Amino acid sequence: MSDLGLAHLHAGKVRDLYDAGDGRLLVVTSDRVSAFDVVLAEPIPDKGRVLTAMAAFWFEHLADVAPHHLLSTSLDDLPEQARRPDLAGRVMLCRRVEMLPLECIVRGYLTGSAWREYQAKGTVHGEPMAAGLAESSRLDEPLFTPSTKAEQGHDVNISFAQAVDLVGAELAARARDVSLELYRRGAAWAAERGILVADTKFELGLVDDEVVVADEVLTPDSSRFWPAEQWHEGATPPSFDKEPLRRWLDGLTWDKSPPPPPLPPEVVDATRSRYVEAYERITDRPLDAWPGHGTLPTT
């Protein structure tokens, strides 16, 4: 990301964080995309706008479950030097949050690492599960399955008891309850629009000892969205995310280390379409109505 005249605090795979002063952070969401922990050379057009718009939608829609860190998505509210037209639609001005050292994962379906653990041990995050479940089985009740936050490498799945060891019983219980309610409400809303939320990850933190929701909420990057009409037990449905990109890469002999192979235009276009469709179906809003339509970001 280009210099904004603000202190650049962190560069992630997708987001850049800046100090906006007065206890605020500026989060800029790029169109960068990663696969297998490698950032690819080609951006996915409008991906940053989709992630920002969807997070803003959910922060507003779920505000009665828990407070959040978002202050504004308008360029007008940013420090003057950061009011660049190419940032429209991809910025969040936020309160600073003391983040919990937990990834607050909620699972409604048995898939991903949870399915692999269940196959091997009959457990999910160390907790025994009913026998006879299949890949993509719908769980009787959503599960709170936290993980650690790894500075390098991969996060590690942990039990709720281990989460208590990390943050204490009261805070772990609050994080669990907030995460489960966010999931239930979000999953019900999405299901009415033909999308199943298989699992998702929330980032929670503290502001004045109050638990708040931060980072992103129920986006294609933090969640597994499945088309309801294609779901059945025993197989994994296609996801509304970067699946076309991952599937194409899986068909290559690439060793999953840098440098990545260049993405063909049709894979970029297919991936963009998945993100845009997820946003428009869930929010009932056209992406063209979100700020930044037709504006190319500057890297």
Tell me which residue of 241, 237, 234, 252 sits closest to 279, measured CA to CA: 241
**Average pLDDT over every residue of 65-89:** 97
Instruction: Select from 230, 251, 278 the last residue of a domain.
Output: 230
Asked whether 220 and 274 are in contact (CB, 8 A), the reply is yes
Supply 273's token pair. Answer: 């379409």
Are 222 and 127 contained in the same domain? yes
Q: Give the tens place of pLDDT for each residue, 195-218.
A: 999 999 999 999 999 999 999 999
d(CA 151, CA 154): 8
Q: What is the pLDDT of residue 280?
A: 98
On whether residue 58 sits in a domain, the answer given is: yes
Are 103 and 222 contained in the same domain? yes
Are 226 and 105 contained in the same domain? yes
Q: Give the tens place of pLDDT for each residue, 86-133.
A: 999 999 999 999 999 999 999 999 999 999 999 999 999 999 999 999
On whether residue 272 sits in a domain, the answer given is: yes
On whether residue 297 sits in a domain, the answer given is: no
Instruction: Select from 184, 207, 230 the last residue of a domain.
Output: 230
Are 109 and 66 contained in the same domain? no
**Average pLDDT over every residue of 138-159:** 87
Are 61 and 115 contained in the same domain? no
The helix/strand count (H/E) of the chain reads as 6, 16
Of 2-6, 33-37, 88-92, 277-281, the least confident: 2-6
Q: What is the pLDDT of residue 19?
A: 97
**Average pLDDT over every residue of 223-227:** 97
- Percentage of the chain beyond pLDDT 90 is 92
Confidence of residue 295 (pLDDT cuts 50, 70, 90): confident
d(CA 110, CA 199): 9
**Average pLDDT over every residue of 10-38:** 95
Q: What is the pLDDT of residue 3?
A: 79
Are 219 and 105 contained in the same domain? yes
- Percentage of the chain beyond pLDDT 70 is 98
Amino acid at 50: V
Q: Please tell me the total count of domains within the chain.
A: 2
Instruction: Decide if pLDDT at 297 tops 90.
Output: no
d(CA 258, CA 205): 33
Tell me which residue of 161, 208, 157, 218 sits closest to 184, measured CA to CA: 218
Are 87 and 154 contained in the same domain? no
Provide the domain limits for residue 78.
7-97+264-289
Are 42 and 105 contained in the same domain? no
**Average pLDDT over every residue of 2-23:** 92
At 53 the three-state DSSP class reads helix
Residue 241 burial class via C-beta count within 10 angstroms: exposed 0-12, middle 13-18, buried 19 and up: buried
d(CA 103, CA 146): 5
Are 126 and 103 contained in the same domain? yes
d(CA 53, CA 221): 13
CATH of the domain at 81: 3.30.200.20
Tell me: cis bond preceding 259? Omega within 30 of 0 counts: yes
Are 44 and 116 contained in the same domain? no
pTM of the model: 0.95
**Average pLDDT over every residue of 281-293:** 97
On whether residue 294 sits in a domain, the answer given is: no
**Average pLDDT over every residue of 71-78:** 98
Strand partners, 2: none
Q: What is the pLDDT of residue 151?
A: 64
d(CA 270, CA 243): 9
d(CA 104, CA 109): 16
Confidence of residue 299 (pLDDT cuts 50, 70, 90): low
Are 109 and 191 contained in the same domain? yes
Are 113 and 171 contained in the same domain? yes
On whether residue 241 sits in a domain, the answer given is: no
d(CA 45, CA 270): 11
On whether residue 242 sits in a domain, the answer given is: no
At 251 the three-state DSSP class reads coil
On whether residue 243 sits in a domain, the answer given is: no
Instruction: Decide if pLDDT at 1 tops 60.
Output: no
Confidence of residue 153 (pLDDT cuts 50, 70, 90): low
On whether residue 236 sits in a domain, the answer given is: no
Supply 120's token pair. Answer: 């091997």
Going through 12-112 in order, the beta strands assigned E by DSSP cover: 15-21, 24-29, 34-35, 38-39, 70-72, 91-95, 98-99, 102-109
Mean of pLDDT over the chain: 95
